[in-house]
Amino acid sequence: MSSSGTLTPSNSVETLVSTNDGDGPRRKYFTLEPVVLLVFFGYNVCSTVFQDQLVFQVCVSELGYNFSDCIVLGTNNESQVVQDLEKAVQPYVADLIMTKSVVEAVIPAFLSLFIGPWSDKFGRKPMIVASLTGFFLTFLIICILCAVSDAYIINPWYYVLASIPIAILGGICTLITGTFCYIADITTEKDRAVKMGVIEAALFVGLLFGSGSSSYIYAWSNTTTVFGIATGSVFLALLYTIFFIEESKQMNEMDSRSSIPTMIRELFRFELVRDMFVVCFRKRRNHDRAIIWMVMISLGFSIFIMEGNQQVYFLFVRDVFAWTVRNFTIYCTTNTLSLIFGNMIAMYGLKRFFNLSETTLAIIAFSSCFLDSIISAVAFHSWHLYLAIGLTLLKGLVSPMCRSILATTSEHSNMDGNEIGKIYSFTTSLESLMPIAAVPLYSQVYKATINTYPGAFNIISAVIYGGILVCMVLVYVFQKMYHNVSYSNVINS
């Protein structure tokens, strides 16, 4: 074990070894995998159920149909009356989901401009705790609304208002920024990609358990119970973070002793935003600036597609294949299992034994996403969607490989050691803005094509993935040019 202050990963504990110069006592880092798993379990266990709840509430509250008519929506009843009612409800639900997504995107996008640079100074743990608190409050409010709706008719717009806490406290973008900054702090270039892949696998496991159990919990209980479980799961993640996760960022003595009011006041200093833009736009050696920007854009547009698909995909399979919540959760579970399996193959097979670079794996991942969108666009039987799952096992590598490229490229640029938080923060801000454009676009395309070609939105996804692939191939070329130049310099010297 090195005495140079490096971090060595293990399966259960990350250990920071202090230097021999008296930098401090030996400290242990509990991993963030349980936090990520619990949060995304809670997020996914209620995701589809939430949309189903919106469909029912819109049917009863906004469209004024009888309870007996609305209760059959989302079941195996395929009568013409139910199909007509489904088509009447879905456009309204799409607008609700679009508004909710915009609320959860605009405020976090603004906060992300500050939170990354702020975390370079005050640490990663506070931003993780804040985002978890937002999840907890939002899920708790929706749980209460669901309980009240059992006795009274609730205006479905209240469910949109419940998103305010998660938006104000940063939501998923702050959690993801904090998590990957934390991983960048405690890993080296050699093990960073693998560790980020493990974090992504933990995310997929959470999604797997959430989607796999959602329909069964819903069938055995009700919406209130589902959101109660989601709330409890996030609360456990919050407690684990507060009591077991230690700060990964080494701060100076003055910053470490700052009071909470001072830290909050420092959050909204526009100098932090200026510093972030300077880091992201500064000229770098070779093609590093172009590489960073192309990777950030690729990540941003992959979120664009994900957010757009998320808003309409469940409505799409309900309309085209007459799927119920259970049918959809089985599909989601199968897809998530394939992503976990694919990540493990890549990290412990392709990466370790064949020594494929992060960029090569990212190209493979985006190619898989492109193929998945093409198959979904032309699917006319349910098994076509499962075929797409089997052929695109490696599409889950997009985020960990791209973020690893960003961290490694940043280190190679010989700049100050506090810039990865700024780069991740800018990336997250870009990602957070994507739903503002993606959700309206996908919702409007779906509503416009629902009676002719409901899968048309998949064509949009395929075209965007094609553009992303071009960017990643250019990243690969630029990196090869840099390595060739470096090798030539070594030979000449």
Residue-wise pLDDT tens digits, 236-292: 999 999 998 888 766 655 555 556 676 777 777 777 778 788 888 888 887 888 999
Q: Return d(Cα 301, Cα 427) in angstroms, integer.
A: 11
What integer pLDDT is reported at residue 35 of this predicted model? 95
- Chain-wide mean pLDDT for the chain? 81
pLDDT at 91 over 80: yes
Within a domain: 9: no
pTM above 0.85, yes or no: no
pLDDT at 113 over 80: no
List b or e across 300-315, with b for residues whose CB sees 16 or more CB atoms inside 10 angstroms. bbbbbbbbbbbbbbbb
200 shares a domain with 294? no
294 shares a domain with 183? no
Confidence of residue 484 (pLDDT cuts 50, 70, 90): low
214 shares a domain with 360? no
Domain boundary among 268, 297, 330: 268
431 shares a domain with 314? yes
Q: Token pair of 368, please?
A: 């898989």
Contact predicate 479/404, CB 8 Å: no
Within a domain: 134: yes
Q: How many domains does the chain have?
A: 2
197 shares a domain with 300? no
Within a domain: 18: no
Contact predicate 336/208, CB 8 Å: yes
Q: Token pair of 389, please?
A: 């799952």
153 shares a domain with 198? yes
205 shares a domain with 152? yes
Confidence of residue 148 (pLDDT cuts 50, 70, 90): very high
Within a domain: 22: no
pLDDT at 371 over 60: yes
Coil, strand, or helix at residue 29? strand
223 shares a domain with 124? yes
pLDDT at 232 over 70: yes
Within a domain: 335: yes
Q: In which domain, by residue range, is 88 found?
A: 29-249+259-268
Mean pLDDT of 453-463: 91
237 shares a domain with 176? yes
What integer pLDDT is reported at residue 23 of this predicted model? 39
What integer pLDDT is reported at residue 125 of this predicted model? 87
153 shares a domain with 57? yes
Within a domain: 1: no
Q: What is the CATH number of the domain that holds 315?
A: 1.20.1250.20
Mean pLDDT of 87-114: 82
236 shares a domain with 264? yes
pLDDT at 411 over 80: no
Within a domain: 464: yes
Coil, strand, or helix at residue 247? coil
Confidence of residue 22 (pLDDT cuts 50, 70, 90): very low
297 shares a domain with 264? no
Within a domain: 221: yes
Mean pLDDT of 120-139: 89
Q: Return d(Cα 220, Cα 121) in angstroms, integer.
A: 48
Mean pLDDT of 124-152: 91
Contact predicate 37/24, CB 8 Å: no
Considering 58-62, 207-211, 398-402, the range whose residues carry the highest mean pLDDT is 398-402
